[in-house]
């Protein structure tokens, strides 16, 4: 049964075990398959489907599916069958998710910058 047909918000770097992926429909999924398969893509199409009690994610162009677990499922996803997510509010949700994703990336860069400054100070002391 298909749970979600969407896209990865922002840059997709590939299947990396335990990595979380935020999708355009507002859901967030974590890979639980021990895997490391790198393939950089920008906003690739994604299908999340359920097989018995397990969930799997298929990213267009990756060639294999990985087992995932839900981290966050928005109310609209819990109440609306896949393929019927349209109308007012969905575009706003996608914009909010993109802002959150960009903020997360900016914080990572800032922390790396702060760490490099600390290392430079330690070296010059």
Q: Is the pLDDT of residue 85 over 50?
A: no
Q: Is the pLDDT of residue 31 over 80?
A: yes
Confidence (pLDDT) at 108: 73
Assigned token pair, 103: 């903020």
What whole-number percentage of the chain has pLDDT above 70? 72
- d(Cα 77, Cα 89) in Å, to the nearest integer? 13
Confidence (pLDDT) at 123: 75
C-alpha closest to that of 8 among 98, 71, 73, 78: 98
Give me the mean pLDDT over the 16-30 stretch. 89
Taking the domains of the chain in order of start, what are their residue ranges?
Answer: 2-124
């Amino acid at each position: 049964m298909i749970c979600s047909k969407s896209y990865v918000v922002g840059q997709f770097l590939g299947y990396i075990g335990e990595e979380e992926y935020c999708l355009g429909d507002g859901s967030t999924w974590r890979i639980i398959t021990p895997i490391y398969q790198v393939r950089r893509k920008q906003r690739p199409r994604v299908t999340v489907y359920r097989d018995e009690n397990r969930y799997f994610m298929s990213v267009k162009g990756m060639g294999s599916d990985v087992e995932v677990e839900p981290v966050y499922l928005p109310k609209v996803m819990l109440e609306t069958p896949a393929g019927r997510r349209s109308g007012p509010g969905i575009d706003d949700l996608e914009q909010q998710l993109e802002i959150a994703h960009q903020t997360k990336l900016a914080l990572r860069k800032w922390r790396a910058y702060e760490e490099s400054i600390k290392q430079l100070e330690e070296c010059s002391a």
